[in-house]
Amino acid sequence: MRGLIVLAGALCMALAGPVSARTAEQTADAALRAAPVWDGHNDVPIQLRGRFGNVISGFDFHDTTNTGSEEAEGSWKGRTMHTDLARLRTGRVGAQFWSVYVTAELPEPEAVQATIEQIDVTRRLIARYPGEMALALTADDVAKAMRRGRIASLMGMEGGHSIGSSLAVLRQMYALGARYMTLTHSKNTPWADSATDAPAHDGLTDFGKQLVREMNRIGMLVDLSHVSEKTMTDALDVARAPVIFSHSGARAVDGHPRNVPDGVLARVAENGGIVMAVAYPSYVSEERRQWGAAIDAEVARGKALFPGDPDAARQHVENWKVAHPEPHATIAQVADHIDHIRKVAGIDHIGIGGDYDGMATGPDGMEDVSGYPALFVELARRGYSQSDLEKIASRNMMRVLRAAEAYARAHAGDAPIETAVAGTEES
């Protein structure tokens, strides 16, 4: 009798095996159905400013595949945009932080005005497509939009120059809809060091620390992409709500200073924050980063070899490129960053932050926003479960935003942090 039972059990298992086993594609698909991608950083708004002067009445966001221009070939205006509603759907994007970035080269008062203009054009873009997009100011708004099949659209400022070193402006940017601020972009602010500028403050100044406290109080996410390692650690010392890295990789995989070192990854886990894995090739591929540095060296070498002959100097660089083709970043390398973040910080602290329309191209197979499913298939092949993939896609980011909102609610009675403004003479 016992033998019959064992045989029957084995037969049931054999019959059930092929039914219950899922391919990597099926696991990824199930995860993205349950939890669409919540992308941490997309630069469509600066594309609207640079290409159209923010006049978007004739702009069709359903399909931007015709935006490349042969007349502008060789410049960013000559490239086809990475983002449109059709490709966002293909990419299974359910929520998007739109970057209201303006260049860090602007003087602070001009940057404040330009940022408000970028918030305005982003809100106008969202309003033009009510059937496909929905403005989201809270985690509940994101959840509602996803349930309705809309792309939940949030906004983030990229660089502290956008607030003109003013806590009052910070609060008003929040009132206008900005839900994160990257403390710096490519250059230092008067109160924080950037990853790609000569250190001036040894991290955050006292004002910078007050700024982090005020961001926590009002519920604005503190974004540490682009900042120096010391700024990262200073912010983590002060922060009482989870921080984010809206578009960064792991420095142990690619040594670019824009990426997150292991010591900081460990602290992100302690803080409850998230690192949203970037697709920017020089931050993804160490080979591509080294190639870029070599190009810079050859440009300098060409100028030294051919002073007064810029055509010969340019030809020197072109000859070098022919002999040394550009390495391409790959989906597997993006997955390597996610593997490393998981190893150091844990599965609960990983997200996705592509940086599309802020770079020339994404990795092979992820050239634009339509490529996210391929990344999730790669992760499934590496053994990530459906639950793991759902966390990476959007559940971790939802937890982080809810935690920031909960902290703000708990401190709603705290007085705003005040700093004196410059005095004015009586008229």
For residues 154 and 219, give the distance between their C-alpha atoms in angstroms, rounded to a whole number: 14
Over residues 169-209, the pLDDT tens digits come to 999 999 999 999 999 999 999 999 999 999 999 999 999 99
Task: Tell the burial category of 7 from Cβ atoms under 10 Å away from its Cβ (0-12, 13-18, 19+).
Answer: exposed
| Residue positions annotated with a catalytic role | 41, 43, 158, 185, 226, 247, 355
Amino acid identity of residue 259, one-letter, is N
Would the pLDDT of 13 be above 50?
A: no
Which of 219 and 74 is assigned the larger pLDDT? 219
Over residues 341-397, the pLDDT tens digits come to 999 999 999 999 999 999 999 999 999 999 999 999 999 999 999 999 999 999 999
Asked if 121 and 113 touch (Cβ cutoff 8 Å), the reply is no
Over residues 151-168, the pLDDT tens digits come to 999 999 999 999 999 999
* Whole-number pLDDT of residue 8: 47
Confidence of residue 15 (pLDDT cuts 50, 70, 90): very low
* Whole-number pLDDT of residue 371: 98
Closest CA to 133 of 99, 172, 86: 86
Confidence of residue 10 (pLDDT cuts 50, 70, 90): very low
Would the pLDDT of 9 be above 60?
A: no
Which of 187 and 11 is assigned the larger pLDDT? 187
**pTM of this prediction?**
0.93
Q: Which two tokens stand for residue 73?
A: 């070939």
Q: Across the chain, what does the average pLDDT equal? A: 94
Asked if 100 and 87 touch (Cβ cutoff 8 Å), the reply is no
Q: Across 199-344, where does the E strand assignment appear?
A: 221-223, 244-248, 274-277
For residues 273 and 348, give the distance between their C-alpha atoms in angstroms, rounded to a whole number: 9
For residues 403 and 60, give the distance between their C-alpha atoms in angstroms, rounded to a whole number: 36
Confidence of residue 339 (pLDDT cuts 50, 70, 90): very high
* Whole-number pLDDT of residue 218: 98
* Whole-number pLDDT of residue 359: 97
**Residue for token pair 């600066």:** 46
Closest CA to 124 of 208, 56, 184, 211: 56
* Whole-number pLDDT of residue 6: 42
Q: Once rounded to an integer, what is the mean pLDDT over residues 312-338?
A: 96
